Structure 1
Amino acid sequence: KCGWIVQGTIKADVVETIGKIKTQHNVLTDELLKRYGLKVIEPVIDLYKHEVRALAKQLGLPKWLAERQPFPGPGLLVRTVGKLYREKLELVRKATAIVEERLNGRGYSQYFPAIWEHDILDKGVMGDIEYLVFKVKATGVIDGRRIYGHPVMVRRYHQVTDIYTFYRQFNSENYPHVLLQLREKEDGEFVIAIRIVKTEDYMVAEVPRIDIYKELKELAEELLSLPKIKAIAFDVTPKPPATIEYE
């Protein structure tokens, strides 16, 4: 019988759970531990992600381990936004392999795809921006509290516009994630969102300013070739108001 659990819980997990920004699977309550008769060992619970990486390097762990990509405890479930079924899960699994292969070694803190249905709730024009609002909901964080809102995808905009400020033109309470469409085709059922961030503590995160049409062109084309994919978009929203993940 197992009496102890060893977990890699870090400080950000605890802060976000207590603040009800996200519910982390690895932040266990005293009541839950008592119910199952378990005790927990959490050796890095007082450290943020960048401090854990520094400790790993100090201990002499290999680079591939010390700098590995963060992966959510619930797995790809949280990147299969909205309804969950096998076909959708397999698509995000294939997309993850493609994204990790193409973006590895570029110095980004975290990079991954998420997928949801191309079901439109609304569409509109605001100045020189043409956009779609999806029916699905994703998480955001404002003033230390969790919110749920609809992702927005900007389809057309004036070329001199600073794409990294798009999110400021939308009400983050209702639209916590703003994305820029990279590629599209006539048929298909799903959207793949490419998420890239730079951060130290994962409590706040920036979207790196890159030449998206140059650096993400081939990636977008390869993702668009997956079955039933209709559009590829790049999330340009920092944390806050968006969360890094979508669930």
Structure 2
Amino acid sequence: MAQLDRQIIIILDFGSQYSELIARRIRETQVYSEVISYRTTVEQLQEINPKGIILSGGPNSVYDAGAPHCDRRIWDLGIPILGVCYGMQLMVQQLGGEVTRAERGEYGKASLLIDDPTDLLTNVEDATTMWMSHGDSCTLLPSGFEILAHTENTPCAAIADHEKKLYGVQFHPEVVHSVGGQALIRNFVYHICDCEPTWTTAAFVEQAVREVRGKVGDKRVLLALSGGVDSSTLAFLMHKAIGDRLTCMFIDQGFMRKHEPERLLKLFQEQFHIPVEYVNARDRFLAAIAGVSDPEEKRRRIGHEFIRVFEEESRRLGPFDYLAQGTLYPDVIESADTNVDPKTGERVAVKIKSHHNVGGLPKDLRFKLVEPLRKLFKDEVRKVGRSIGLPEEIVQRHPFPGPGLAIRILGEVTAEKLDILRDADLIVRQEINRQGMYGHLWQAFAVLLPIRSVGVMGDQRTYAYPIVLRFVKSEDGMTADWARVPYDLLETISTRIVNEVPGVNRVVYDVTSKPPGTIEWE
């Protein structure tokens, strides 16, 4: 595991949907953190040499058959450990305490009543709101532990063995609903683990450049440029590291938004002075997914076609040893297929969806990969982009999926549907910008559904497609909430779409958060 800073907090992942949020909250304290498997051995942890360890929550009960357990020897490492929800229950069970099914589960907001306001709970206000999600409770603490806090339903909401620096919380301090959660995390990171705030943008850029130079040497690198903040930041970073040994290639796969290919080429070549090789492969990509309705198959074929085009074009441009990709941490996590332990068969975490740059790579890939952003969250990429001179119009650009509009058209993708969605999407972006809403939203886009509905336009019956508007707010893309935008904005967008886009007679608004939905529809 590449370590970007000698100070590191490790999260052992037991399958929680929130494990990555724990890492992000720790990084907000400017201390580096990574999520790794709960199967990690003590010897492997000693090699990493973390300043602290956090055990994540998880969907299991500690008494379930095949429930995930960590190496029991970690309790004797002398390293501060914080167990969260399932992690706390596992700590209690393995150290000789008892965990039982609670008479009444606790889900949602709860008032945390503090019994010991020191150490882990320093500066955490009494009766602050914390987010609960558990059906089991600790009923007998191991020797040496004491209660730090409780709730109305949970006697042991926070516990500690101060001497051994072992801590547990039944709630989830990492989620935004936990008002005092970040204060608790800061206490663990700074006061208990004795970390210093050295994980900074400048430190990352310096080390990333050094690692790229060390890995690539005097070889040439091909970069897949899309124009988004990820690939653009990657281009600037790689150009800073290796200069003209970088070749940026923009593959126009035909799934971009209206006018974006032209804008991208002009921006990079005329303003940034970074040469870009343009490849028009629209017909090829459309043919590759012709008749395909399954979203995973669409992603796989598009990812496969990307690599094949890169390989073919690289032969034309002269040999390349490396392919640079803007893969981010959430891409890696959401594409992780770690749901079944090959030894025990136990189910731990479930793959959400494949990302084209981590899920569609063929086994016979000719390139070696270089992915300096692989351990960053989206907000961290934006900070890096700003620090190396990326213009704000790109830094603030909404996330756009690698497969583009192909996964915003549900079902089969055709040229006609692409034209419809491009026109609808352009109207969405125009109106969002006109009302000054763009910077307040994580994403705002249109989705085309593969169904038709009856409408009336000009006294004539119509049978046309519906457009779904998807506007969300988020901090990192791992969770998201649907945006409560003004009705007059929705009305304007709807009116324009049904009047200006042929083939559409209905506009609907998606009011689903993530979870249970995802931000994209496919």
TM over 0.5: yes
Counterpart contact for 1:193–1:232, Cα < 8 Å = yes
Distance 1:43 1:216, change over 3 A: same
Determine if the alignment matches structure 1 residue 205 to structure 2 residue 459.
Answer: no
Aligned residue for 2:320?
Answer: 2
> What CA distance in whole angstroms lies between the structure 2 residues aligned with 1:113 and 1:184?
22
Work out which of the residue numbers 218, 225, 229 in structure 1 matches 2:492: 218
> What CA distance in whole angstroms lies between the structure 2 residues aligned with 1:242 and 1:15?
17
3-state DSSP of counterpart to 2:462:
coil
> What CA distance in whole angstroms lies between the structure 1 residues aligned with 2:365 and 2:485?
49
3-state DSSP of counterpart to 1:72:
coil
Q: Which has the higher contact order (CA 8 A, sep 6+)?
A: 1
Please give the TM-score of this superposition, normalised by the length of structure 1: 0.68
> What CA distance in whole angstroms lies between the structure 1 residues aligned with 2:365 and 2:450?
38
- The farther-off stretch of 81-90 and 7-16 is 81-90
Work out which of the residue numbers 186, 189, 192 in structure 1 matches 2:467: 192
Distance 1:207 1:184, change over 3 A: farther
Counterpart contact for 1:184–1:224, Cα < 8 Å = no
- The farther-off stretch of 9-18 and 93-102 is 93-102
Counterpart contact for 2:409–2:450, Cα < 8 Å = no
Q: Which amino acid aligns with 1:23?
A: S
Q: Which amino acid aligns with 2:398?
A: Q
Aligned residue for 1:24?
Answer: 355
Work out which of the residue numbers 332, 339, 347 in structure 2 matches 1:14: 332
Structure 1 residue 239, shift from structure 2 partner = 0.7
Question: Percent sequence identity over matched residues?
Answer: 36
Counterpart contact for 2:408–2:447, Cα < 8 Å = yes
Counterpart contact for 1:108–1:197, Cα < 8 Å = yes
Aligned residue for 2:406?
Answer: 77
Structure 1 residue 28, shift from structure 2 partner = 5.5
Q: Structure 1 stretches of 5 or more lacking a match?
A: 121-182
Aligned residue for 2:518?
Answer: 243
Structure 1 residue 58, shift from structure 2 partner = 2.3
Structure 1 residue 57, shift from structure 2 partner = 1.7
Work out which of the residue numbers 89, 110, 117 in structure 1 matches 2:450: 117
> What CA distance in whole angstroms lies between the structure 1 residues aligned with 2:380 and 2:367?
27
Determine if the alignment matches structure 1 residue 36 to structure 2 residue 386.
Answer: no
Aligned residue for 1:137?
Answer: none
Q: Which amino acid aligns with 1:221?
A: T
> What CA distance in whole angstroms lies between the structure 2 residues aligned with 1:199 and 1:80?
23
Q: Which amino acid aligns with 2:353?
A: K
Structure 1 residue 196, shift from structure 2 partner = 0.4
Q: Which amino acid aligns with 1:233?
A: V
Aligned residue for 1:234?
Answer: 509
Distance 1:28 1:81, change over 3 A: closer
Counterpart contact for 1:114–1:193, Cα < 8 Å = yes
Output one character per residue of 1:37-94: Cα deviation in whole Å (capped at 9) or x when no partner.
3211111111111111122122232100111121111121001111221111110011
- The farther-off stretch of 12-21 and 51-60 is 51-60
> What CA distance in whole angstroms lies between the structure 1 residues aligned with 2:380 and 2:409?
29
Q: Which amino acid aligns with 1:11?
A: Y
Counterpart contact for 1:184–1:232, Cα < 8 Å = no
- The farther-off stretch of 54-63 and 199-208 is 54-63
3-state DSSP of counterpart to 2:382:
helix
RMSD, matched Cα: 2.1
> What CA distance in whole angstroms lies between the structure 2 residues aligned with 1:59 and 1:39?
25
Pairs within 5 Å for 1:56-75: 56-75=385-404
Q: Structure 2 stretches of 5 or more lacking a match?
A: 1-318, 337-349
Counterpart contact for 2:425–2:446, Cα < 8 Å = yes
Please give the TM-score of this superposition, normalised by the length of structure 2: 0.33
Distance 1:184 1:23, change over 3 A: farther
Counterpart contact for 2:335–2:359, Cα < 8 Å = no
> What CA distance in whole angstroms lies between the structure 2 residues aligned with 1:94 and 1:195?
16
Counterpart contact for 1:191–1:229, Cα < 8 Å = yes
Q: Which amino acid aligns with 1:56?
A: G
> What CA distance in whole angstroms lies between the structure 2 residues aligned with 1:66 and 1:80?
26
Structure with the greater alpha carbon radius of gyration? 2
Work out which of the residue numbers 378, 384, 387 in structure 2 matches 1:55: 384
Counterpart contact for 2:468–2:509, Cα < 8 Å = yes
Counterpart contact for 1:118–1:230, Cα < 8 Å = no
The runs of 4+ residues in structure 1 deviating greater than 2 Å are: 117-120, 183-186
Structure 1 residue 117, shift from structure 2 partner = 3.0
> What CA distance in whole angstroms lies between the structure 1 residues aligned with 2:514 and 2:375?
21
Counterpart contact for 2:408–2:520, Cα < 8 Å = yes
Count of matched residue pairs:
182
3-state DSSP of counterpart to 2:358:
coil
Pairs within 5 Å for 1:172-187: 186-187=461-462
More helix by share: 2
Pairs within 5 Å for 1:137-176: none
